[in-house]
Amino acid sequence: MEDDFKLLFRYLLVTIDIMSSARKIVKNSTIYLLSNLLYYVLTFFTVMFTARYLGADNYGILSIALAFSTTFVAISDLGIGTLTTREIAKDKSLTTKFIRNIFPLKLVLAIISMLIVFIIANLSNYSPITLYTIYIASLLIIVGVFPGIFLSIFQAYEMMEYPSVNMILNGIFMFLGTFFIIFNGLGVIEFSMLNVIVSAIVLVYCLIVFNWKISSPKFEFDLVFWKKIIKKALPFGLISISGVLYTYLDSIMLSLLQPIEVVGWYSVAYRLILVLLFIPTAFNTAIFPVMSKYFVSAHNSLKLINERYFKLMIIMGIPIGFGTMLLADKIIYILFGSSYLNSVIALQILIWTIVFTFVGASFVQLLQATNREFAITKISLICVLLNLVLNLILIPKFSYVGACFATLITEFVLVSYIIKISYKVGYGIPIRNMITVIAKVVISSLFMSVFIICLNDLNLFLLIILSIFVYISLLLLIRGIDKDDINMIKRLIKC
């Protein structure tokens, strides 16, 4: 009897801990999701107005510059941000040691990265205005290094309200700055400067909040610790760098092999699908620290979170793919005008890379939280090489359409391998459950697609709203969302 009581007591403690973590996930996911939503809505309109104003040629130049800066921001981070979040989430006593060392370390890495950008740009056959735009945008590597550190530590402490404000400030100032540039008739170089100025504003905000909530950042040059950090962070860094490379490698290679306006057509479609990343990004940021904790204390809870997260991403991702493919022509014409109609086919292809990203989101977080980042590193590096080879083969023959298929194939290979590894290490979702979820979502999405085709002459925004209603109604009807899901959502909301 006493043993039964002890078992019951332990069960209650575990349940309380799970619900406490669930409340944190709901709170952090909600805060971060809403701030992501606002940020990406502002970004959406910023991209739309920028692309319309600059035209395909100049928007292509800006896209190349931002591709370089974004790629080398990831290189200068070298995975240190993700490592910082994971290690501090597990042990808060490491905060001071990490803070004092990662600031100077990442500054050194940022300076080296910036010099590499200058060398590559000068060796390429770019026009003077393209070079100037790249030089200015490369300042983002220096200015952006510190906010990344602050945000990693906020994430480790599950203080997601501060990264949320950070994103909102970024979105607002970019949006307002875009209108200022357009109103004053300025050009592509000023748009590049705007990105640097907004990053500096965000840096000031992060510094103030960090000093207020955690501590004053100080420098420490512990080279032994630096070496240890780099060694541990390198797998995360290679994952991040690989992801950024096959995201932006297409644009850079297009700029070298095709006319600059082609980069503009491709980039418009790509920026649209990147806006959709706010959904998995918000959940990833909130769930990763909890997954890291459960790996140490509660493996069954970790499996449950992974399965629920996978189902949620499937429910959202697949209908987005079907809907966007059918409405791409309307979307491009309304948002960017007739000069970007060549972007339609790019959007129809690239949207499926986001679907695969949704499918693999939970498994990527799972492997990183369970210290299996080397598996992701391996396939990420393979995928970079695959993407490079595919681009070299497809771009000369099929231009930006070839680049789209290169990206799609690469993402499919990456996600397939990551899911396979998850099963091998014992965290796979039961095959029957996975097939059932996917089948019900696909059936609902196909009915939604028929609805879109039949009523294609409707106003775009009204058609999107009605299509979502049709999809959700059918999904509920065939129990794609079951009672357990609904009850779980209700419990979490009440918590």
- The predicted pLDDT at position 378 comes to 81
Q: Is the pLDDT of residue 209 over 70?
A: yes
Structure tokens at 17: 């801990």
- Residues 59, 119: Cα–Cα separation, whole Å: 23
Q: Is the pLDDT of residue 306 over 80?
A: no
- The predicted pLDDT at position 44 comes to 85
For 241-278, what is each residue's pLDDT tens digit? 877 887 788 888 898 888 888 999 999 999 888 878 87
Place 332 in a pLDDT band, splitting at 50, 70 and 90: very high
More confident residue, 486 or 411: 411
φ/ψ (deg, to 5) at 60 = -65, -40
Residue where the block lists tokens 């103030």: 208
Query: Please, are residues 67 and 251 in contact by the beta-carbon 8 Å criterion?
Result: yes
- Residues 5, 228: Cα–Cα separation, whole Å: 46
Highest-scoring range by mean pLDDT, 66-70, 336-340, 402-406? 402-406
- The predicted pLDDT at position 495 comes to 44
φ/ψ (deg, to 5) at 186 = -85, 180
- The predicted pLDDT at position 31 comes to 62
- The predicted pLDDT at position 29 comes to 54
Amino acid at 435: I
Using alpha carbons, list the distances in angstroms from residue 159 to 24, 61, 292: 10, 37, 16
- Residues 65, 43: Cα–Cα separation, whole Å: 17
Taking the alpha carbons at both ends of the chain, their separation in whole angstroms is 32
- The predicted pLDDT at position 349 comes to 96
More confident residue, 426 or 45: 45
Question: For residue 353, which of 293, 311, 295, 411 has the smallest C-alpha distance?
Answer: 411
Mean pLDDT of 48-73: 91
For 173-190, what is each residue's pLDDT tens digit? 999 999 999 999 999 999
Beta strands, E only, 320-477: none
Q: Report the percent of the chain where pLDDT is more than 70.
A: 85
Neighbours of 120 (CB within 10 A): 14
Q: For residue 428, give the DSSP letter.
A: P
Which of 57-61, 308-312, 489-493 is predicted least confidently?
A: 489-493
